[in-house]
Amino acid sequence: MKTLLTVLCAFVITAGFAQEKIPAKFSKRAHLIRVTEPLRDYALVKDTVFDPLTVAKIRNNLKNAPKVNPNALPLNGDPVRQINTPARAPQDEITSFDGMTIFEGQANPPDPTGAAGPNHYVHATNSSLKVFSPNGTLLLGPVRLGDFFQNGINDGDPIVMYDQLADRWFISQFYDVDNALLIAISQTPDPTGSYNMYQFDLDSFPDYPHYAIWPDGYYLAANKSGDAAYVLDRVAMLAGDTDPEVLGFSLPGLIRNPNTVLGIQGANLVGPTAPAAGAPGYFVYLQDDAWGGVAFDHLKIWKVEPNFDNGNNGTISTAQVIPTAPFTSTFQPFGTGDVFQPGTTQKIDNIGGVISYMTNFRVFASHNSMVLNFNVNVTDDVSGIRWYELRNTGTGDFSIYQEGTWTLADPVSRFLGTIGINKFGDIALGYNAANSQTPVDIRFTGRLANDPLNEMSFQETIVEESDGVATNSSRFGDYAHMTMDSDDESFWFVSEYFDEDNEWITKITHFDLDGLPLLSNIVPATDEASIAIFPLDNSTHKVVFSTEKELSNLTYDILDIKGKRLFSGKLDAESNGYNATFNTTALSSGVYLVELKDNASFKVIKKFVIN
């Protein structure tokens, strides 16, 4: 009760006072250091085979602290863990192809990233770059990032973005020697052409840099000491200005995760529609009561209003606090590994306690949606993926529209998620999965906009299975990347698997969630139960269900063929089983489904027809 009152009070306090605006901490300049040769003219990486146990390890700036609060909620399992079996069949890929191998990237972990434009897919890892056609034909590469950035340094953490508002390409990696970030902006829509190359020097090492596209800037967050959130003058960089401004912001009220990387994300605009003129950009971060100084689990969102025109540099707001269902984002101390693998004692990292890349924002006619995800400890160090769709209107505060933890009733860890939302409001989630019996593989699921809230409705698709495991290092990831196709409907997703022991390889997948049918009848074995549904008259149907299982509070949902819930009710228990009647006068002719479920994990689905 004490925790509940704390959460409620925090919510009231947050909602009752306007967010204060705080000036930018500083203004600096990035510098145009060169205009590159056309990317198509660079030398390719030599085809080199080497012992993967000797591969270069990419630097990280991660802590190694234990969980601070042993009494943090939840104490009895994840309260929004999905228990319903997805009712839609798994989706086949539109196309899927290998991206980069460890022998081409020549570093570990790969940090796979990529984005799709109208005619290209640009893919990077530590520490190389490739360009493909949409059907997977290799057009260019691999080119070493050190060659592309023309400093000979392959430091790592690349990010590739396609700026759909400008039809340009964005490629970055960090530069350890100068505590700097190197950013390349294509001069034309052709990713194989020339780029304007910028260097942005910081006051400390900018580990784990992640970017987002917004009309007024490129938003950047990094795992570093001191200020960790920045906005780069996007318009100036697209124009090739020699010294574009960069604004730095402190995040008021930020509590840093003591256990791992600082993983803040900027809201990344997807789709062709920009937010209303003057709309702020956003940074978002999770706050876990397992950390010191956090009273209850919540999300924090900061509004940012940069100003590159008149020298006042813009503002950042105090954080909006959004209480969430309790979660645990802490796992093992970094470097020991979190996820089991078969045949080895070596575990791999799931990168818990960060907002996973990317957090995507979309403008709809009636609202704005922001989707995000992060790893949570579901039970006994089995990882699931907590995901959110937040909504607001105009420039108002956000609220949780839906919230769930994606996992199934098995001991498999699902982790390293990446999430997207298309023009219909359909949500896709890509991720890795593994346990002591299952080598790490690549999977995705999703939901259509009108499916029951808080659930993924598609059975998971396994894109690629590994033929090996990691035996020499816990490093895995450190991120995956999902982006939109130029049709604004289908999704592109890149992640890693193992071709052989210690030999990572990336897989690039293009898929769609549209038009998938619901599964045929899902019923228990005949020795466990029977279900029947039939008309009593022109306006009433009856469902009769018998089972040897002990069930309580059995309810029904009537769904249309797309899985949209139409209405619900309760089944009555009788001596011969359970039954309910419902009115069908509002249903037009067609195929429908009745879904029966109890308070636990029991569920059955059966089709019926209204003539």
Give the tens place of pLDDT for each residue, 235-258.
999 999 999 999 999 999 999 988
CA atoms within 13 A on the CB side of 534: 5
Q: Which residue has the tokens 């970030």?
A: 181
Average pLDDT over residues 468-495: 96
pLDDT at residue 518, rounded to an integer: 56
Q: Which residue has the tokens 């249309």?
A: 560
- The per-residue pLDDT for range 283-323, each reduced to its tens digit, is 999 999 999 899 999 999 999 999 997 766 899 999 999 99
The answer to whether the CB of 125 falls within 8 A of the CB of 492 is: no
Coil, strand or helix: which one is 10?
helix
Residue 426 pLDDT level (bands cut at 50, 70, 90): very high
User: CB within 8 A of 519, min separation 6: which ones?
Assistant: 87, 88, 89, 459, 605
pLDDT at residue 64, rounded to an integer: 44
What's the CA gap between 343 and 591, in Å, rounded? 48
Average pLDDT over residues 275-285: 93
More confident position, 316 or 176: 316
pLDDT at residue 139, rounded to an integer: 97
- What is the residue-averaged pLDDT of the chain? 89
Comparing C-alpha atoms, which of 356, 423, 402 is closest to residue 383?
Answer: 356
**Which structural domains are found in the chain, ordered by start?**
19-42+57-65+84-511 (2.130.10.10), 529-610 (2.60.40.1930)
59-68, 135-144, 493-502, 568-577: the lowest-pLDDT one? 59-68
Asked if the model's pLDDT at residue 6 lies above 50, the reply is no
C-beta atoms surrounding 607 within 10 Å: 16
Dihedral (C-alpha) 280, 281, 285, 287: value to the nearest 10 degrees?
Answer: 0
Comparing C-alpha atoms, which of 379, 361, 363, 494 is closest to residue 420?
Answer: 361
Q: What are phi and psi of 109, to 5 degrees?
A: -80, 175
Asked if the model's pLDDT at residue 611 lies above 90, the reply is no
What's the CA gap between 587 and 108, in Å, rounded? 57
Amino acid at position 483, single letter: T
Q: Which residue has the tokens 């130029």?
A: 486
- Taking the alpha carbons at both ends of the chain, their separation in whole angstroms is 52
Chain Cα centroid distance, residue 378: 17
Comparing C-alpha atoms, which of 578, 459, 555, 441 is closest to residue 509?
Answer: 441
The answer to whether the CB of 76 falls within 8 A of the CB of 98 is: no
22-31, 61-70, 533-542: the lowest-pLDDT one? 61-70
Asked if the model's pLDDT at residue 520 lies above 50, the reply is no
pLDDT at residue 564, rounded to an integer: 73
The answer to whether the CB of 572 falls within 8 A of the CB of 497 is: no
More confident position, 184 or 565: 184
Residue 144 pLDDT level (bands cut at 50, 70, 90): very high
Question: Tokens for 284?
Answer: 């978002």
Comparing C-alpha atoms, which of 170, 94, 98 is closest to residue 137?
Answer: 98
Q: What are phi and psi of 148, to 5 degrees?
A: -60, -45
What's the CA gap between 563 and 519, in Å, rounded? 10
What's the CA gap between 440 and 414, in Å, rounded? 10
Residue 89 pLDDT level (bands cut at 50, 70, 90): confident
What's the CA gap between 232 and 221, in Å, rounded? 11
Q: Which residue has the tokens 């450190």?
A: 478
Q: Which residue has the tokens 């009745």?
A: 594
Amino acid at position 195, single letter: Y
Residue 334 pLDDT level (bands cut at 50, 70, 90): low
H/E element, 131: strand 128-132
User: Longest Cα pair distance anywhere in the chain, in angstroms?
Assistant: 82
Task: State percent of the chain over pLDDT 90.
Answer: 66
Asked if the model's pLDDT at residue 1 lies above 60, the reply is no
- The per-residue pLDDT for range 9-19, each reduced to its tens digit, is 334 334 444 68
C-beta atoms surrounding 1 within 10 Å: 5
From the number of C-beta atoms within 10 Å of its C-beta (0-12, 13-18, 19+), residue 589 rates as: exposed
Average pLDDT over residues 505-528: 66
Asked if the model's pLDDT at residue 4 lies above 70, the reply is no
Question: Tokens for 122?
Answer: 């640009």
Comparing C-alpha atoms, which of 61, 52, 159, 143 is closest to residue 111?
Answer: 159
Question: Tokens for 304?
Answer: 């940012």
